Amino acid sequence: MDVRIRTAIISVFSKDRIDEIARLLNKLGIKVLSTGGTYDYLQKQGLDVISVESVTGYPSIFGGRVKTLHPKVLGGILYRREDPRDLQELEKYGIPPVDLVIVDLYPFENTVATTKDEDEIIEKIDIGGISLIRAAAKNFRDVVIVPSASHYNHLIELLQKKEGITSLEDRKYFATQAFNVSSHYDTKIFEYFNKEQNIPAFKKSIIQSFPLRYGENPHQQALFYGNLDEVFNQLHGKVISYNNIVDIDAAIALSKEFCEPTFVVIKHTNACGVASRTNLKKAWYDALACDPISAFGGVIIANRPIDTGVAEELNKLFFEILIASEYDEKALEILKSKKNRILLQKKSVDFSEVQFKSILNGALEQEKDLKTEMESDFHLVSKKAPTDTEVSDLIFANKIVKHQKSNTIVLVRGKQLIGSGTGQTSRVDALKQAIQKAHDFGFELKGAVMASDAFFPFADSVEIACREGISAVVQPGGSIKDADSISFCDEHEMSMVFTGIRHFKH
């Protein structure tokens, strides 16, 4: 059913384009009611506007906390146009009908992000605006609700095209947007209060989204919820895909572990190349050497700016994505030679320390694995202690192992990943895969170190490692047969340290 708008109420925080809307409403002969600062602003623009106070007979009170919470406002929005009793009451109490409600809420989320002053934050919890939104959205059969400044453009187009007439479809669309805005607003308020109370309730709300070409596979539809512009600038290349985003996340997480000039190469979220060196070009050579076959089509991240020399070497390889904080002008020119290659300039941004995923008929939530063991976390369990070089490599290997899919084993020598077994159903299989990788690409395992994401249930893994010349091991410990592994190390002059921290990743 089509409805002609005759009266509108405007109560907004953001005044951008609101004068344009009010001018259009005046032109269409639509009466405009407004509150407080919005009323003053529109009057100064020379627009025909009526104060809400003149309708309700009450001024704005309690420092502006109460302006529109009045039956003559909410009643004019909520009454049912085809209900005889509602119509009688409307006339009896002299309530003016309202057909269009325009609201832009106090910026609560912005205020939380910019101040710790609780009084200021609390004052930005909108009461009247959220009530207007819910009332108008509930009565969508007769009323249009514009719930935020981001919907002004749509309203302007509608008014220009239909000259103040709306369809049920129009009103239901705006009502849906209204409940999206109000639920998001309430969720952010709950999140603020729940930092102290820690009530176990799964409430997440992200307004921004963009459609992806497809999900993990072409037959799966997908969206990303969030604002990737906060994380990086895309300087070149095709549109980022679902799998790209997953790999970018893995690449950034692992790269953050390293302080020295380091390159990380990711394939299907697992590292297939990592090396730290005194300069970035050497780091690239050695990261690529880890597994040049898997690096083909991979995601690469550097923790230093990309200069021309590094860009020339990178350009010899086909890869999908390169991430760095900076690129010099010539480097960008070189790297842009491939049309679809994605080049990202990473920004400095803090990520949530909590992660969650949908599963079965609910969701799992947990703290991220942010524990990175250093030498002080190592508990020596073998008679022989690792050398300083081995300690350095054990720390390096343990940083990588926590980011690989379980079961996983990582082999490192000289701050270079030389073999990795990932996603295996047994730890021995993961070790065998890591050893095979090292052999395939010509790495010497004598003097290398081994890291495991979880304990060794039997001594077989250290026995295999010993045969290959691996000299030091880091693992969480905790097996009922730890003594067997320790005894073997002591008998064969291997060093072993426990961390007490498991790093499963599924």
Among candidate residues 268, 384, 405, 439, the one labeled active-site is 268
Six token digits for residue 43? 């009057």
CA distances from 360 to 202, 203, 262, 366, 446 (A): 15, 17, 39, 16, 46
**Closest by alpha carbon to 11, among 28, 42, 35?**
35
Q: CA 198, 204, 205, 208 torsion: positive or negative? A: positive
Cβ-contact 401, 419 below 8 angstroms: no
**What is the SS3 string spanning 295-340?**
HCCCEEEECCCECHHHHHHHCCCCCCEEEECCECHHHHHHHCCCCC
Say how many CA atoms lie within 13 Å of 243 toward its Cβ.
14
Q: 305-321 burial, b for 16+ CB within 10 Å, e for fewer?
A: ebbeebbeebbeeebbb
DSSP string, 21-73: HHHHHHHTT-EEEE-HHHHHHHHHTT---EEHHHHHS---BTTTTBSS-SHHH
Six token digits for residue 316? 């010899």
Among candidate residues 15, 138, 281, 384, the one labeled active-site is 138
405 is catalytic: no
Beta bridge partners of 101: 9, 145
268 is catalytic: yes
* Pairing mode of beta strands 362-367, 379-380: unpaired
CA gap 49, 68 in Å, rounded: 16
CA gap 383, 187 in Å, rounded: 55
CA gap 474, 377 in Å, rounded: 11
R_g over Cα of the chain:
31
Indicate which residues carry an active-site annotation: 138, 268
